[in-house]
């Protein structure tokens, strides 16, 4: 099944207080492996961006003024996430904004049944400690050097790494055990990684020399 790692940036802490979304990012994965299919939009909130919010994500009202509004990108967004599991850190926050924006333009709301909240998983696994995305990255030794400010796309990438660690899953690796077993069987129970040396006949050498001469003549003369 496909998953979507999703994150938003906003003008404030609550949609009910009149705040709006300024950035949406989604990364699609298949069994937690990125498919290179992403959705990323900066959004004109049609309101001011408070100083506190600007310090978090760095998007000013002036910078966002020429970006599309949420109603213009909503269909593309809904089509991107349709039929996929959504993995969000602190999902209640993002869903309040997303469903608030969707409801205001009479679009279908996101059903909580398709959402996995990685914050809830982290709280169950590490009770009594900080389980912010930053804290979890530090816990799992995930590189935060690129994260000078909050950025929805980067946060999605970090969230995928955190989520894999929360599940105690590992990045898929090539299974070489079957190849090794074949080597053992073919060498009377002993591993033999030496390459076989093939003897080239005089006829083959002559054919190769003739081929090189014809190619050199064709390409350089």
**Residues annotated catalytic, as ranges:** 150
**Residue 87 and residue 116 in contact, taking contact as beta carbons nearer than 8 Å:** yes
Distance of CA 43 to the CA centre of its chain: 20
Q: Would you call 34 exposed, middle or buried from its count of C-beta atoms within 10 A (0-12, 13-18, 19+)? A: middle
- Quote the CA–CA distance of 4 and 27 in Å, as a whole number: 5
Helix runs in 22-107, H state only: 51-57, 61-64, 70-81, 91-104
The crossing angle, in degrees rounded to 10, of helices 70-81 and 91-104 is: 120
The DSSP secondary-structure symbol of 199 reads P
CA distance 163 to 182: 36
Beta strands in the chain (DSSP E): 2-10, 21-30, 33-42, 85-88, 115-117
Measured between its terminal Cα atoms, the distance across the chain in Å is 57
């Amino acid at each position: 099944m496909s998953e979507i790692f999703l994150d938003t940036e906003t003008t404030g802490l609550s949609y009910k207080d009149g705040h709006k979304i300024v950035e949406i990012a989604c990364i699609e994965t298949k069994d937690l492996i990125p498919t290179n299919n992403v959705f990323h939009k900066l959004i004109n909130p049609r309101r001011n961006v408070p100083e506190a919010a600007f310090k978090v994500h760095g998007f000013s009202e002036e910078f966002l003024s020429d970006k599309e509004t949420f109603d213009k990108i909503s269909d593309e967004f809904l089509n991107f996430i349709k039929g996929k599991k959504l993995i969000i850190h602190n999902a209640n926050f993002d869903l309040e904004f997303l469903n608030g924006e969707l409801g205001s333009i009479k679009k279908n709301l996101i059903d909580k049944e398709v959402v996995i909240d990685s914050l809830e998983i982290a709280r169950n696994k590490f009770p009594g400690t900080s389980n912010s995305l930053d804290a979890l990255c530090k816990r799992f030794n995930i590189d935060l050097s690129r994260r000078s400010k909050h950025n929805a796309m980067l946060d999605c990438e970090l969230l995928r790494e955190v989520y894999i660690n929360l599940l105690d899953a590992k990045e898929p690796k090539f299974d070489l055990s079957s190849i090794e077993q074949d080597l053992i069987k073919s060498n009377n129970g002993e591993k033999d990684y030496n390459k076989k040396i093939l003897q080239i006949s005089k006829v083959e050498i002559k054919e190769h020399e003739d081929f090189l001469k014809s190619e050199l003549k064709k390409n350089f003369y």
